[in-house]
Amino acid sequence: MPVTIPERPFESFQKIARAKQGFGCVITEKLDGSNAQILIEDGKIVGVGSRQRWIMPGKETDNYGFARWVQENEEDLVAKLGDGQHFGEWYGSGIQRAYGRTGNDKRFALFNTGRWSDAAVRPACCECVPVLFAGEFSRRNVDQVMRDLAEKGSAMVPGFMRPEGIIIYLPGPRILLKETYEHSDGKWKSAPVNDNAAAEAAA
């Protein structure tokens, strides 16, 4: 059989990151709200989305009022965010844990900490998820961050003592992982770290 060019998109094998790059990580607080995004192209907002669909202002078409909020803050968002696909968590009053917010107090926390942690750089209407740890990726460090978060409460909303968990970002392979308190064995609040087990898990 002669070999020909198939009429289908070409898919290459994924690029493999160097192992040395995979040892570092950035851990942020996982917020229990609603995943959201703003798509800006050529200086204009061309799309507003939830986790699974595009949305727009309206009782049946919005997602907890996020599209309406984007519309109301369009000038600031476009000027400061710039072109790109900007992801974050829409959280607060009436959304999942609410974090003690009442009335119509909802916030948008951007995920890209490397770009938006500085309040002077990001739009005034936006927040950024807090960095809890930056350093070596190991079971021991992840466990410690989970214990600290459980004991001290939310870093995003000080005083809120029921945080959901953490997001772990591995910049080398560009992988996101999560750890949560619920739907697990609850070891974070009671069991001490076993250094040998942590070393094996990190190996």
Structural domain spans, the chain: 19-202
Tell me the CA distances in angstroms from 145 to 17, 61, 134, 142, 193, one per residue in order.
25, 38, 10, 5, 11
Provide the token pair at 33.
């709200």
- Is 35 a residue whose pLDDT tops 70? yes
> What is residue 86's predicted lDDT score, i.e. its pLDDT?
98
pLDDT for 92-145, tens place per residue? 999 999 999 999 999 999 999 999 999 999 999 999 999 999 999 999 999 999
The least confident of 38-47, 85-94, 100-109, 194-203 is 194-203
Radius of gyration of the chain (CA): 20
DSSP state of 152: H
**178 burial level (CB within 10 Å; 0-12, 13-18, 19+):** exposed
- Is 197 a residue whose pLDDT tops 50? no
- Is 189 a residue whose pLDDT tops 60? no
Q: How far from the centroid of its chain's Cα atoms is residue 184's Cα?
A: 20
Identify the band that residue 16 occupies on the pLDDT scale cut at 50, 70 and 90.
confident
Task: State which CATH number among 3.30.300.30, 3.40.1170.60, 3.30.470.30, 3.40.50.1820 fits the domain covering 19-202.
Answer: 3.30.470.30
pLDDT for 46-73, tens place per residue? 999 999 999 999 999 999 999 999 999 9
